[in-house]
Amino acid sequence: FGMMASFVPMSSRFDKLISEGESLTKNRKDVMIVEEYLTFRGFVRKDGSKDYVRFYNSAYISEGAWPKFYSGTKHQKSTSKDTLFKIIIALRMSLDDAMLFMQYAGSGFFSGSKRDMVIYAFIKNNYLDRDNTFDAVYTIYELIEYYSNKEISRQKEPLKQLYIF
């Protein structure tokens, strides 16, 4: 009980720190990373606002999947891993940012998934340093096709493709 008495004078400072923590965690860090990359990669209109439609169209993200990610809350179904990968690839994120983004979005690269490892290697080798989003998207499409065919030749399941052209 003696500890509580010495703590009471600090409670207003502690309350302020609690409020600060609450406001920091209300901002979704996965969305914050996307917002930075949208600007960095030029998905911005002349008035300075983000051009989300142009982005999710060029990323081959469905019109329904984008708002699910962007305005999602803890109580909604989580965004699919495919959508998260499409965001990473279309924005051509660095490996560090991709790893953080996946973590903040409640996902990650699974070492038991050949497709996840193909995407990981694609990012790690800096193949995302493409001139435009389409180049990055098409290159990962080709890589997944290539490794899918290798799996088939080993009499294993083909890799699930991210994109359908």
pLDDT in tens, 88-104: 999 999 999 999 999 99
Residue reference for tokens 């340093």: 129
pTM: 0.80
CA–CA separation, 78 and 131 (whole Å): 31
Buried b (16+ CB within 10 A) or exposed e, 139-163: ebbebbeebbeeeeeeeeeebeebe
| pLDDT (average), residues 116-131 | 85
Contact present, 71 and 21 (Cβ < 8 Å): no
First to last CA, the chain: 68
Residue type, 139: T
Q: Is the pLDDT of residue 76 over 70?
A: no
